[in-house]
Amino acid sequence: MDVAIFWKIVRHGGVSSRIRRLIMLLRRLLVWSLPWTLAAAGVFAQSTNDSKDLQEMQKQATRLDSEASQSQGHEAVLESLSKQLNVPVATLQAEQKSTNFGFGQLFIANSLAAASNKTFEQVSQEFKSGKGWGEIAKENNVKLGRVVSDLKRANKQVQKDRTEQMQQRAERGNSSAAGNSGAASNSGGAADRGQQGAARGHTGGSSGPRGKR
């Protein structure tokens, strides 16, 4: 049955008054609950997104720690993070020393501090008090997606700096090898000339006595 026809029957008394009242009550409940249902759906969707962002943030933080432990060394990674966070290397070193944070946690705390207009010390204390990064971000109205994006850029910067350093080392190695090769060539030429001179001296010394006889 068409919905419009059904409601027309209800309004004109096509069903008993008790059923009609029940239907009208259900209709009111539906209208009343719809906004709440939509709001709950929105909250659930936001919670799901936050969960995904939190997982991605942890993944990127672990990746940053892994990058730091490979070949660059701590100072090189701190220089890369300093470019991204606009925080001096010396400050990052002091923060890491005072908190024992890994490079990922160090970056997250600084990123949240900048986004929430708080100091690094305030954010790190909240974390050490037992709050998670997601909870800290939510309390300070900071979207985790922003922190995730910052972490991704930081990882790209670290990879870029590492690639440039490897290229520079390779170029220095090639230059050093070329220099050593040239020195060896010169040394070999000098040895050959010395041997030739000695041979000529020996020949001259031999012909002298034969001339006297």
Summarised one tens digit per residue, pLDDT across range 81-96 is: 998 899 999 999 999 9
Answer yes or no: are the C-beta atoms of 68 and 103 closer than 8 Å: yes
Asked whether residue 42 carries a pLDDT value surpassing 50, the answer given is no
Check: CB of residue 112 under 8 Å from CB of residue 140.
yes
Q: How far apart are CA 178 and CA 184, in angstroms?
A: 10
Q: Determine the pLDDT at residue 43.
A: 39
* Complete DSSP assignment for 57-72: HHHHHHHHHHHIIIII
Least confident of 2-6, 108-112, 151-155, 176-180: 2-6
Judge contact between 165 and 171, C-beta under 8 A: no
> What are the sequence ranges of the domains in the chain?
45-175
Cα 151 versus chain centre, distance: 4
Instruction: Pick the more confident residue, 186 or 97.
Output: 97
